[in-house]
Amino acid sequence: MSLADQLSEDMKQAMKDKDKTRLSVVRMVRAAVKNKEIETGTPLTDDEILSVVQKELKQRQDSLQAFESAGRSDLIQAVQAEILILQGYLPSQLSDEELSQVVQETIAEVGATGKGDMGRVMSALMPKVRGRADGKRVQQAVQSHL
């Protein structure tokens, strides 16, 4: 089942279960996907839908940080619930050890020798870890290995 079909099924199930939070999040993701489809003019692949979900997740995480710094406990709980729902659509995240191993392999493949090769390493590495590791986390791992 494609991710788009999964989103549709989850929306129907959330309606049946009267799960307002899940329904709201799934509708938001489907709207973002639809907007991206209109922008590109073609239906999105599962990888492109995953990138939309990641973008929405990143927005929620940024909001969570802002709410925590402002002390808004009422909003923190709602955003945390949305984050959990969005994470359910993403593949499992790489552990630090797995990420470190992939970074070392990519550095060896590219033949990187120093910080000047960071761009080459990142461009070769990101397709390998897309959806399974945050870009900022990947960047920190590459910097520590170079």
| In a shared domain, residues 44 and 80 | yes
Task: State the average pLDDT over residues 74-101.
Answer: 88
Q: Say if residue 133's pLDDT is above 90.
A: no
Do 10 and 68 fall into the same domain?
Answer: yes
Same structural domain, 80 and 17: yes
Q: Domain residues for 52?
A: 3-87
Q: Are 46 and 2 in contact (CB under 8 A)?
A: yes
Q: Give the number of domains in the chain.
A: 2
Q: Are residues 65 and 109 in the same domain?
A: no
Q: What pLDDT does 79 receive?
A: 93
Cα dihedral across residues 15, 16, 19, 25: positive or negative = negative
55-64 tens-digit pLDDT? 999 999 999 9
**What value does the mean pLDDT take over residues 114-138?**
82
Confidence of residue 25 (pLDDT cuts 50, 70, 90): very high
- Measured CA to CA, the distance from residue 68 to residue 84 in angstroms comes to 17
